[in-house]
Amino acid sequence: MLPIRVLVVDDSVVVRRVVCDALASSAEVEIAGTAASGAIALAKIPQLNPDVITLDIEMPGLDGIQTLVEIRKRYPKLPVIMFSTLTERGAAITLEALSLGASDYATKPANSTSLAGAIEQVQQELIAKIVCLGRRTTITGSPQASVMPRRVLGGQRIDIVAIGTSTGGPNALAALIPGLPADFPIPVVLVQHMPPVFTRLLADRLNTLSPLEVHEGEAGKILEPGHVWIAPGGHHMTVARRGKDAVLSKNDDPPENSCRPAVDVLFRSVAQVYGPNVLAVVLTGMGSDGLRGSEWIRENGGDVVAQDEATSVVWGMPGAVVTAGLASEIYPIGTMAKEIITRVTDSRPANEKRAVARINT
């Protein structure tokens, strides 16, 4: 199999060297070339024909956002991984880049990191993402929900929606969460693989788009209808029972599936607290985080649905759940909110069924 050709774009010669040295350790990756500016990158793309681009955000002349917009005009399917600093500004610009079509992102090593440490961090951050995005073939179609084996549900009410996502997740969540009505009768908890700062800004962004109130998760908060809670970067988020209430908790236990927060951790806790009254939703993402948690949810009588391949940036996480036979249905992201509302509404007493009519108006 041919190696994945990467164009490294960064105005810093030091960063270009670190990235190139890091990627050289992988037999699956080949450096197609480097560029010190957005303009140079745009000129080199047709010459080098890269499979993936790593793109610095803050550059003189054409910055990363402007370069990304131009790449998307000329090469709409070319994977672009933004390379940003782990700062408030870097996180905000990265989220903007993702909304404009960036495939994924990685964070730069801190200035205090040694050269060897910086190379190791870039290896851990970038190589798997480059390989995953570079190997992704064009999707010509994906199984629809009707072809999946439908589990016969026991008529149990749904009291919580738990969502897990990674690569491509911010845009998937921006399509899903605003589609849930302000009177959505149950809480939503979710894990999006992101570092600190990023998750808070993601919550703020979704809050401006959504009728629901979207927050970064805080320990001790009672789960209430009409609220969405996003696991804070760097911490696992769980649900626990406190008297008659379900409350959020967080911990710094070791990463699972190389992730903290991890979807499996949240899903396990939700299954333990809510038993059969759970609807889990697995969206686009690299890897298989959420697979074991989905097993817990199914074993405890809850239900699991997954995003389809055609609308996923990476079908790793939902694909793992579907392949394992754990998803009762798969849906494109454009209809996911409607399907969730229908399932939740249909599971409740007649006097609580308010949402279905609303979504059809």
* pLDDT tens sequence across 78-101: 999 999 887 888 889 999 999 999
**Token pair in block for residue 197:** 């700062």
Lowest mean pLDDT among 46-50, 163-167, 176-180, 349-353: 349-353
Residue from 107, 111, 112 nearest 124 by CA: 107
Give me the domains of the chain, ranges plus CATH numbers: 4-135 (3.40.50.2300), 145-359 (3.40.50.180)
The predicted-structure confidence for 108-145, as pLDDT tens digits, reads as follows: 887 767 889 989 999 988 999 999 999 864 333 344 43
- Residues 22-51, mean pLDDT to the nearest whole number: 96
Positions annotated as catalytic residues are 166, 193, 289
* Omega within 30 of 0 (cis) for the link into 261: yes
The predicted-structure confidence for 154-212, as pLDDT tens digits, reads as follows: 468 999 999 999 999 999 999 999 999 999 999 999 999 999 999 999 999 999 999 99
Type of residue at 152 = V
pLDDT, position 352: 64
| CA count, 13 A, side-chain hemisphere, 279 | 26
Q: How sure is the predictor about 43, in pLDDT bands with cuts at 50, 70 and 90?
A: very high
| % of residues, the chain, pLDDT over 70 | 91
pLDDT, position 349: 76
pLDDT, position 48: 97
Within the chain, residue ranges assigned H as helices are: 13-23, 38-48, 64-74, 88-99, 115-122, 128-135, 169-176, 198-209, 263-274, 291-299, 316-323, 333-346, 355-359
